[in-house]
A and B are shown apart, each in its own frame.
Chain A
Amino acid sequence: MTTGVEHRFGPYGGQYVPETLMPALTELEQAWLEAREDPEFQARLGQLLHGYVGRPSPLYLAERISAQVGHPVYLKREDLNHTGAHKINNALGQALLAKRMGKRRIVAETGAGQHGVASATACALLDLDCVVHMGTEDIRRQQPNVQRMELLGATVVPVEAGARTLKEAVSAAIRDWVTNVADTHYILGTAAGPAPYPAIVRDLQRVIGDEARAQVLEQAGRLPERVIACVGGGSNAIGIFTPFVADRGVQLIGVEPAGEGIETGRHGAPLTVGGPGGRAGILHGAYSAIMQDEDGQILEAHSVSAGLDYPGSGPEHAWLRDQGRAIYTAITDRQALDAFARVARLEGIIPALESAHALAWLFTSPSSELDIVCLSGRGDKDLAEAIAKL
């Protein structure tokens, strides 16, 4: 191939996977390079994003939040997408790609269930078999999404290993892919994993930022001072950041989960804790900021938000951090829950607990001229968990 997608972002990224998968990664990269340039593929994806997902999603001036923080705050309403989160942008694109590659079976992981639902939805639409690996702790706390996936025809495979959350679900999905690689495509849900995944997921999610940038210029006549997004693996964040990276005056703020508090160790904030140039490691095929002990054993993450409950991070985020182009910070479970309830009453919008982290950071750091917050998903799935904890 003449040009590829990025395998490395600075020192981060790479392909630390079993040999069995290497030919599949090469095939995937080649397929994506072709699809990305193919007007027919792009037209089909564009039609579905418009007619099926409901894009463009609104950029909404949240007046009551704005009044409280003292400056205009725009919410990028990914919660209004079909299936209720940004995850559908990527799942639909990758499912179309799988179909183009002749792969009939899809495997996916899910934490909060949003990527699992998005994958199950895309597979129903495109008539593909779908198997979603999900930790049993997440199955417990995201029950409505499990029922949704099953209704959509997907098989949800419970994962009992480790903390029974997203990390183990990703591992189980990769093992499934290793075993069934001939007829299976793995729809990785976040901008992490081995190359070419971080680049593919970013390419498919940058529609969030492309729209938001045009919308804010049209509605406010200027660029924002800050763009704020939550970061687990980092797919909604990389999606909204990417078109703003070249706008040097726009601050990019990634908000990780501080869980019970960074100092307790029970968090999911490797980008924040490591700091620029901090110790990195290999998890799920990529070298990036991760949570690990001295020996290099991967630590369990903790977050009230299942979608952020992950000890790794996308390699491009680690590189944006090291370059000083984006800032990563963290918000506790309690702060996120408070923001969840506060935004519900202020705006009549129940945000996903993941997105509530980005909103909570806004409330702690109100000094700005104009902000965009990526409201990456809606919070219906979180009601039982959040109400029990509020």
Chain B
Amino acid sequence: MSGPGEASGSERIAAAFTAARADGGRAALMPYLMAGYPDLDTSREIARAYVEGGADLIELGIPFSDPLADGPVIHAADVAALAAGATVTDALGVVRAVDDGVPVVIMCYANLILARGLERFADLLADVGASGLIVPDLPLEEAPATRAALDARGLALVPLAAPTTPDQRLARIGASARGFVYTVSVTGTTGERDANDETLPEMLRRVRAHTDLPVAAGFGIGTPAQAAAAARAGADGVIIGSRLVRAAGETASPSRALRALVGEFAAALAS
């Protein structure tokens, strides 16, 4: 819980984007990991490896049984993390492994929040030191109570904008956004694609027209070259998910491999 004199979660998110921008005008790197995957200890190591590899922010997924917005790689990681016994409390606890300088934004499906009770869930986010929350199945219409609960604790409810979102709706999303706007760069679920969607620059331009907050791009960005292209297309931040989760499942010592991999994405954004 942020006390007097401490930066709120929303302020920490803003500072991370500002610091990246001040560092040669680059976009912020936000790698995603699944808490509890392949197991809790390893996921804590992976989170630290992300920091060492150059993450500016971290997106931490809480495993859920029915992740509708996720493609096969992250879905499989959800299933594996739950099979390994990860509870919601354990998963949120992974935030504590991350250095204070790097804000952690939680990605969590709506039913896990509801099951605990919104106020208790928000308290827990504050307790573990999370900075914000992304709920992929909580569109604008269903979000006001959650946003208010997070606002009261200085935490950011980060909305998503999709390629299918019309301008009028983008305006409402932008007006209610906290932290940054998560721009879904493809029409579809999470998962690596061969190339960025050709509409991404236009999509980022449309989102930016409706918010003063940073605009981050995610979904489908799987290579350093795609990350650099998303940044050139106007993203203030780039989120890398399935590529890293896949690597976490493929190697015997994921933290070392992921430190190197995140380092490659960081280098691509720095150049």
| Interface of A toward B, CB cutoff 8 Å | 14-24, 161-162, 167, 171, 174-175, 178-179, 181-182, 281-285, 287, 292, 294-299
Contacts and interface: CB of A to CB of B under 8 A. Distances in A.
A167 B161 CA distance: 27
Interface stretch (B3-11, B184-192, B232-240): B184-192
A174 B165 contact: no
A24 B162 CA distance: 12
Contacts, number: 112
B66 A298 contact: yes
Interface centre among B65, B184, B189 (most CB of A within 10 A): B65
A89 to B, nearest CB: 27
Interface string B233-263: 0000000000000000000000000000000
Given A22-B169, A23-B165, A283-B66, A17 B139 contact: yes
Given A15-B142, A171-B66, A284-B68, A292 B79 contact: no
Contacts of A174: 68
Interface string B59-85: 000001110110100010001001000
B71 A175 contact: yes
Contacts of A20: 162-165, 184, 187-188
Given A22-B169, A294-B115, A295-B115, A179 B187 contact: yes
B139 A19 contact: yes
B142 A16 contact: yes
Contacts of A24: 164
B66 A19 contact: no
Contacts of B162: 18-20, 22
A123 to B, nearest CB: 23
A167 B169 CA distance: 31
Interface stretch (B46-54, B94-102, B106-114): B106-114
Interface of B: 64-66, 68-69, 71, 75, 79, 82, 87-88, 109-116, 136-142, 159-166, 169, 173, 184, 187-189
B115 A181 contact: no
B164 A23 contact: yes
Contact of A297 (B82, B136, B184, B189): B82
B68 A19 contact: no
A19 B165 contact: yes
Contact of B65 (A16, A179, A294, A298): A298
B88 A295 contact: yes
A22 B165 contact: yes
A285 B137 contact: yes
A22 B113 CA distance: 21
Smallest CB-CB A-B distances: 6 pairs: A296-B115, A179-B188, A20-B162, A282-B111, A297-B65, A296-B112
B140 A178 contact: no
Contacts of B161: 19
A296 B68 CA distance: 15
B68 A298 contact: no
A23 B137 contact: no
Contacts of B109: 282
A19 B186 CA distance: 12
Given A17-B68, A19-B159, A21-B164, 18 more contacts: A14-B141, A16-B110, A17-B137, A19-B162, A20-B164, A20-B165, A22-B165, A161-B75, A178-B189, A179-B187, A179-B189, A181-B187, A282-B111, A292-B111, A295-B115, A296-B111, A296-B112, A297-B82
B207 to A, nearest CB: 12
